[in-house]
């Protein structure tokens, strides 16, 4: 390869036996690091991703789920190898596939299943079977014999009961057959079962469980047949390794087996397995040649290097393009971007100056917060809680790293307590922190910390608690744009409903603009938080369900409902929209948003029941409302009309 200094990191949780041979070979082309990640120290992933040019995830598991959602994942080339078992878990549904450049499958059967089940883009997938290092398995011409081998784990997918049944039938045909197992029970129940059935079958003198073997080549030396009883495999490498030695394969016709092995090696019934072992056909050279011609390590290496070469070319193109873009964008343009973010965040602040003035700071402590880097600035945000259990959310304090000065929103700058707030902010910025995705979050409240640890996935996907690491700038901006858009339909006489209201910052923002706000949410802890954080007299917080609103007919001028459609069972969406129609006054407006499924083919939020494309979304709304206008959310901005490339859809429905 042209670039022998490219950096490749291989991640696993320690179960990387399948990558060992190929990693050794690839070290001739790349600077390689093999990193074992403990689930308690996931921050190590980001550290090593920063070091690498290409990130290889040996399994499609928690590591890839976590890594694919880091900001740095957008900058790196990511490869994952999905073996088999992962396709039957929910891990692929949680991966952000938009950040994965190549997904390697070991077999075509597993590839088709994963694509159909999880909606993975077929363009990023390829099949590269595992390869046998032929130098590790000594070949010799063999003959029929009586030693039957099984090598590998013993678990549910290996067909453990069928394994013993085949050997029992073989033993009944000729008691000279002996059964040898090199492996490990992955469930003690199988170990107990084997002990019982070996005794019941009277096989004690012909059955040898010899445990895991470090030198499989040596262990296989005196074996005549390799037996497989699996229900599903990607390949079954122990069978191929035995074939490389010239041992005859006896393979159950597992799902996908016929796409890997010749039919002559496969059996469907116990009697067929016995016949295959006892017939006179035995051709060691044929078995070895099958592996040489189809599944050698050299073939696997060639395909893998070719894939990596293509990715390396893309890296070089991306680097060149990034350099060009950096030359094109000036500091002035960076500043204009900052001004937009700064102004939009200040516009969306839910408090007035008197809210900061009236808060009791004498016992206040920061219970959760964050520092977030953006160009030459650092955003400092946090939530205060005092002895009266009142909360104050501090947003949009910026620290200019060049000029060493703070930039405060007007509401805080004009408050008599601005010095108190600045003192807390300066204490936060002095502390040593570790950044992840340019964010250094902290949680000092033990109850919040325990809840986050217990429901971390929910916080990452759904629980965007304000002023925390779970609500980064880019997400907050999208939210702010939607709320300021909705506010454009309100005036000082408007009676507004927001459902669900989440943590309440949207309803609190509306309270500055309209006459009154009714805010409901089905989650009691959300309502409790909002009550403690927002004490505006024209907001009423209430627990409720969007499909059965606790209000009279025709109460509201405006009903705002963001990002709830996708959380409802499909049969409840009409009830939800009908309830919206019911509680609105004549000419009242229902403002609703939901993700655009067409742009989320590789995004699988585990908390979304169903996502919608425009046509289906439009059909449901038009069944209830006569007048519906659609808007698109793209690159933070809300624009009139429905674009296919929109990240989110907004509809303004008039009664």
pLDDT, one tens digit per residue, over 143-165 is: 999 999 999 999 989 999 999 99
User: What is the pLDDT, as a whole number, of residue 488?
Assistant: 93
Q: Cis peptide leading into 500, omega within 30 of 0? A: yes
Comparing 167-181, 408-422, 448-462, 581-595, which segment has the lowest mean pLDDT?
A: 448-462
Scored b (16 or more CB within 10 A) or e, 148-165 reads bbbbbebbebbbbebbbb
User: What is the pLDDT, as a whole number, of residue 600?
Assistant: 83
- As a whole number, the mean pLDDT across the chain is 90
- The CB-side HSE value for 23 (13 A sphere, CA atoms) comes to 19
Confidence of residue 1 (pLDDT cuts 50, 70, 90): very low
Phi, psi of 205 (to 5 degrees): -85, -10
Q: How far apart are CA 67 and CA 56, in angstroms?
A: 11
Residues 614-641 have a mean pLDDT of 90
Q: How far apart are CA 434 and CA 440, in angstroms?
A: 6
User: What is the pLDDT, as a whole number, of residue 326?
Assistant: 45
Burial class (CB within 10 angstroms; exposed 0-12, middle 13-18, buried 19+) of 256 = buried
Look up tokens 């409901």; give the residue: 520
What is the model's pTM?
A: 0.53
Instruction: Give how far Cα 16 sits from Cα of 34, 79, 416, Å.
Output: 9, 15, 60
Give the bridge partners for 184, in sequence order: 153
Coil, strand, or helix at residue 19?
A: coil
User: What is the pLDDT, as a whole number, of residue 316?
Assistant: 64
């Amino acid at each position: 390869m042209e670039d022998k200094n490219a950096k490749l990191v291989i991640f696993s949780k320690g179960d990387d036996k399948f990558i060992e041979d190929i990693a050794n070979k690839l070290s001739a082309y790349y600077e390689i690091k093999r990193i074992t990640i403990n689930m308690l120290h996931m921050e190590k992933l980001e550290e090593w991703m920063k070091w690498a040019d290409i990130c290889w995830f040996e399994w499609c598991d928690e590591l890839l789920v976590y890594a694919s959602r880091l900001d740095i994942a957008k900058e790196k080339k990511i490869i994952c190898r999905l073996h088999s078992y992962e396709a039957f878990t929910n891990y692929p549904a949680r991966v952000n596939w938009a950040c994965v450049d190549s997904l390697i499958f070991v077999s075509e059967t597993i590839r088709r299943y994963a694509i159909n089940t999880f909606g993975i883009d077929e363009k990023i997938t390829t099949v590269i079977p595992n390869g046998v290092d032929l130098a590790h398995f000594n070949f010799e011409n063999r003959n029929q014999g009586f030693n039957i081998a099984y090598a590998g784990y013993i678990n549910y997918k290996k067909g453990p009961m069928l394994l013993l049944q085949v050997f029992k039938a073989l033993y009944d045909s000729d008691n000279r057959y002996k059964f040898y197992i090199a492996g490990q029970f992955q469930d003690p129940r199988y170990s107990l079962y084997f002990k019982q059935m070996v005794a019941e079958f009277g096989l004690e003198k012909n059955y040898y469980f010899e445990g895991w073997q470090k030198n499989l080549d040596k262990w296989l030396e005196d074996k005549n047949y390799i037996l497989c009883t699996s229900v599903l495999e990607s390949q079954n490498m122990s069978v191929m390794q035995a074939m490389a030695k010239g041992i005859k394969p006896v393979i159950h016709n597992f799902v996908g087996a016929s796409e890997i092995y010749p039919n002559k090696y496969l059996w469907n019934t116990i009697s067929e397995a016995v016949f295959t072992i006892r017939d006179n056909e035995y051709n060691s050279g044929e078995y070895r040649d099958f592996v040489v011609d189809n599944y050698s390590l050299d073939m696997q290496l060639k395909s893998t290097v070719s894939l990596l070469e293509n990715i390396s070319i893309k890296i070089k193109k991306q680097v060149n393009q990034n350099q060009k873009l950096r030359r094109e964008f000036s500091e002035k343009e960076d500043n204009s971007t900052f001004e937009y973010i700064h102004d939009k965040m200040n516009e969306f602040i839910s408090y007035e100056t008197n809210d900061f003035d009236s808060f009791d700071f004498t016992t206040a402590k920061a219970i959760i917060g964050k520092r977030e880097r953006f160009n030459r600035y650092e955003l400092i945000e946090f939530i205060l809680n005092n002895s009266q259990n009142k909360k104050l959310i501090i947003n949009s304090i910026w620290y200019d790293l060049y000029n060493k000065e703070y930039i405060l929103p007007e509401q805080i700058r004009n408050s008599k307590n601005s010095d108190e707030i600045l003192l807390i902010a300066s204490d936060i910025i002095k502390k040593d922190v570790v950044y992840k995705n340019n964010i250094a979050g902290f949680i000092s409240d033990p109850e919040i910390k325990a809840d986050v640890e217990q429901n971390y996935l929910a916080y990452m996907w759904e629980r965007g608690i304000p002023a925390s690491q779970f609500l980064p700038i880019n997400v907050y901006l999208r939210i702010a744009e939607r709320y300021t858009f909705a506010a454009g339909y309100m005036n000082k006489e408007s009676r507004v409903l927001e459902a669900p209201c989440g943590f309440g910052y949207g309803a609190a923002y509306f309270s500055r603009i309209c006459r009154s706000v009714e805010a409901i949410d089905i989650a009691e802890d959300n309502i409790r938080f909002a009550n403690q954080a927002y004490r505006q007299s024209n907001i009423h917080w209430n627990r409720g369900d969007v499909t059965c609103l606790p209000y009279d007919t025709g109460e509201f001028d405006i009903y705002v409902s963001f990002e709830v459609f996708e959380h409802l069972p499909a049969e409840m969406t009409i009830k939800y929209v009908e309830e919206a129609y019911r509680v609105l006054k004549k000419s009242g407006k229902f403002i609703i948003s939901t993700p655009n499924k067409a742009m989320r083919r590789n995004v699988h939020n585990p908390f979304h029941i169903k996502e919608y494309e425009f046509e289906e979304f439009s059909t449901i709304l038009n069944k209830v409302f006569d007048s519906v206008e659609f808007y698109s959310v793209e690159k933070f901005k809300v624009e009139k009309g429905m674009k296919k490339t929109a990240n989110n859809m907004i509809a303004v429905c008039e009664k």
